[in-house]
Amino acid sequence: MKIWREIICLGDSLTYGARDEFGRSYPAELSKILREKTGDYWFCHNYGINGNTSSDLYRRSWSILKSNENAKIVNLLIGTNDTKIPMPKDIFMDNVSTIVAQAKCLGKQVIIGTVPNLGLSPAYLKNKDFIIFYNEILKIISEEYDTFLLELIDLENLMIDGVHFKNAGNKKIAQLFADFILKL
């Protein structure tokens, strides 16, 4: 008998799948990979919204997490748009910590993806150092809340515009998350 499993994917345009030439996303690719590897049906709820910062996600996270009670895994990929502002480090930390705490409170396992290095993109270029700061914060949060940290590194060649991923990039991110999930 096939089992139906659910995963919540929270994030911004990188989760949404913006600019994917086939209109796909890493959550769509993740569902496919997990189905093929396990024989079970998987649905990855895509709660990525283009342009969202950690503050935007913070405001909508509780209702998403609460309304998906059957999902036991949460993939979190946020921070790219925070670099554009740049979001103060203490606010970024509070936003992400709260989202993770909410998920843990509801009995969900959290996998935090680091903010990928960006290619050349004028809107993000002047604040690229914040990627390093945010990733250090994500590591601290991961340790503090006993979650998993998925390092999304060396993916720049899979970007279509220096920020967003081509389908090959979404497949690679999905594979990285799948490898983590299959070890749980």
Annotated domain spans of the chain: 4-178
* pLDDT in the model for residue 122: 67
Phi-psi region of 132 (alpha: psi -120 to 50; beta: other; left: phi over 0): alpha
Backbone angles phi, psi at 142, to 5 degrees: -60, -45
* pLDDT in the model for residue 1: 47
Compute the Cα dihedral for 97, 155, 13, 175 and give only its sign. negative
Check: CB of residue 115 under 8 Å from CB of residue 134: yes
**pTM confidence score:** 0.95
* pLDDT in the model for residue 2: 66
* Below-50 pLDDT ranges, the chain: 1
Distance between CA atoms of residues 162 and 117, nearest Å = 9
**DSSP character at residue 161:** S
Distance between CA atoms of residues 11 and 138, nearest Å = 14
CATH, domain 4-178, list 3.40.390.10, 3.90.1150.10, 3.40.50.1110, 3.30.450.20: 3.40.50.1110
* pLDDT in the model for residue 123: 67
* pLDDT in the model for residue 96: 98
